[in-house]
Amino acid sequence: MDSPLWRSKKQTPQTGTRDAPETRTLLTAAHPDIQRLLAEWHAAGRVAYTQQYPTRPYDLYACKDATTMDRYIHLDEAGSVAFLVDRTTGIIYRVKVYGRTQPGKRLGHVSALSGAVLHAQRYW
């Protein structure tokens, strides 16, 4: 038999509890800040790529893409995950082995970073 306290929580759940998780708007790959970051990151890598590979088309071989997953947005370069964006906080992380985040390797918030920072931090 349920206690009255438990029943009252079930009837009127508080925000952030197990019964009623917080309702926030989650970032998606179509968010303007994500799209701006991808465009800047793509533009920042063009000069170095064309100097190293003059015969390869940059837009085909070094394309940038964002994929929305459950907890993170994957920022991909040429089909490989390069960075992860936390959908609830907007914090960008470097990727460790097998797509795990490195908590000590936070780069910053998606609205505060530029594509040049992502390009510089891609191969560390």
- Nearest CA among 70, 106, 67 for reference residue 88: 70
- pLDDT > 90 fraction of the chain, expressed in percent and rounded: 49
Average pLDDT estimate for 9-31: 63
Any idea where the domains of the chain sit in the sequence?
27-121
Q: What is the pLDDT of residue 18?
A: 55
Average pLDDT estimate for 54-63: 90
Q: Is the pLDDT of residue 1 over 70?
A: no
- Decide: 90 and 26 in contact? Cβ < 8 Å: no
Q: What is the pLDDT of residue 32?
A: 94
Q: What is the pLDDT of residue 35?
A: 94
Of 32-41, 42-51, 98-107, 114-123, which gets the smallest average pLDDT?
Answer: 98-107
Q: What is the pLDDT of residue 104?
A: 77
